[in-house]
Amino acid sequence: MELLNPLSKTGFPAKTASPSAAASATGTWPAGPEGVLVWCDQSCYVEVGEGAVATTSSTPIPPFTPIPFKVPQGTGAPWLVSAIRVSADGTLYAKPINAQ
């Protein structure tokens, strides 16, 4: 089992979003991290990447369950996490990580 390595709080701080009936997104991070650890206090659908916008076809995650997502290799542009609720509004938390 690989251990997860949170990246610096200065360069890659944890961010939040507020999934509701409309997609909500964290602010962006610079390219570099291998992944991002995502959890929410409500069930939601999640999308990760450059300009990502979550829809009901995105990956569903259960509440209070940290899920690691791979950050897709893109153009090197900033990337983000987007989420939309399944049935109730909530707060999504995201922290960039690397495998160790």
Q: What is the pLDDT of residue 3?
A: 56
92 contacts 18 by C-beta, under 8 angstroms:
yes
Q: Is the entire prediction scored with pTM above 0.85?
A: yes
pLDDT tens for the chain, 100 residues: list them.
Answer: 555 666 778 889 999 999 999 999 999 999 999 999 999 999 999 999 999 999 999 999 999 999 999 999 889 999 999 999 999 999 999 999 987 6
Question: In sequence order, which residues have a C-beta less than 8 Å from that of residue 25 and are 6 or more positions away?
Answer: 17, 52, 53, 80, 81, 82, 83
Distances in Å between the Cα of 10 and the Cα atoms of 15, 16, 85, 92, 96 are 12, 16, 29, 20, 12
Tokens representing 24 are 């909500």
Domains in the chain: boundaries: 4-99
Q: What kind of fold does domain 4-99 have according to CATH? A: Jelly Rolls (2.60.120)
